[in-house]
Amino acid sequence: MNRIVVVGASSGGLEAVRTVVAPLPVDFPAPICVVIHTAADSPAIIHELIGRVTRLKTVLANEMDRLQPGTIYVARPDSHLLVEPGLVRTTKGPRENRFRPAIDPLFRTAAQVYGPAAIGVILTGSLDDGTSGLATIKQLGGTSIVQDPADAMFPSMPESALTHVKVDYCVPLKQMAPVLMALTRETVTIAAPAAPPELDTEVRIAKEEDPMEAGLEQIAKPSRFACPECHGVLLQLADQTRIRFRCHTGHAYSIDSLLAALSEHIEESLWNSIRSLEEAALFLELLKKQLTAGEPENTSDTVAAVAADARKDAAALRGIVHARAPLLGSTRSR
């Protein structure tokens, strides 16, 4: 069976990918699919920046592109990149770990379609996207490669993969090209183990199928928590290796990404409270200036006192915002 290489990166990922692919020969015998976390409104130029340093053909992935050896397919902003037999797909499936494109959907489809012929590579990045997908690649007989955290600009993603997956290779960036060249020249003859039912469900969700029709309730049970994005009930997945969640609309979270989302929500709520208090103070201060002599004599003093309290409360909340650490800050380097 022909091999496929799937690569996931986040913070610092562009330069990391460029370093990995720069030495690869023009006759590299496998396709390479790349997901780098990007904002939805990012310009679609990552493939051009990668293409400047490599002899391989580098393209922005298009729906139903045929997978060709010696070609790098880069995920589009705001679209998941998936693989099917001999093809790539781009979808608007729900965000995973707060990102679209996300690494896990690409890795899961590579495991599902290619089994032992899949090679998953995790590079620099924050939090832990890619760990679940890399575990699936290993589960179905594929090969796992992780950048040495000491070599990574942002070590969290490699550290998470090393913690939760029995990784085959942990190497610095400059040693990855020789490893990939050796692996892709090997012929894979072993059969893939049977894919677990939860893999099919999660792949179907990434392909934009309704999560309930895809079987979400058969692989997960309701939790007491709400999705930070759509506020629906989060269901805890029956993942034996680590805790993960999906909501009824399909948004997926690891513990790390859920904590990060909750931390952002807390800070947003605090700033909204600060804004409300300061707007109230401004209104009351303006009202005090417009009070007429016919008002009760203590009205002006009362308005001034309430305005002062609002200012004081806003200042206290500002202090909390500036002093608080992210919920995940004490558990993993960022």
Catalytic residues: 10, 37, 129
**C-alpha of 8 from chain center:** 10
DSSP 174-224: GGHHHHHHHHHTSPP-SPPPPPPHHHHHHHHHHTT--HHHHTHHHHEEEEE
Residue 246, SS3?
strand
Using left for φ > 0, alpha for ψ between -120 and 50, and beta otherwise, residue 220 falls in beta
Q: In Å, what is the CA distance from 334 to each residue of 12, 55, 316, 331?
A: 12, 33, 27, 9
Strand order in the sheet with 252-254: 220-226, 233-237, 244-247, 252-254
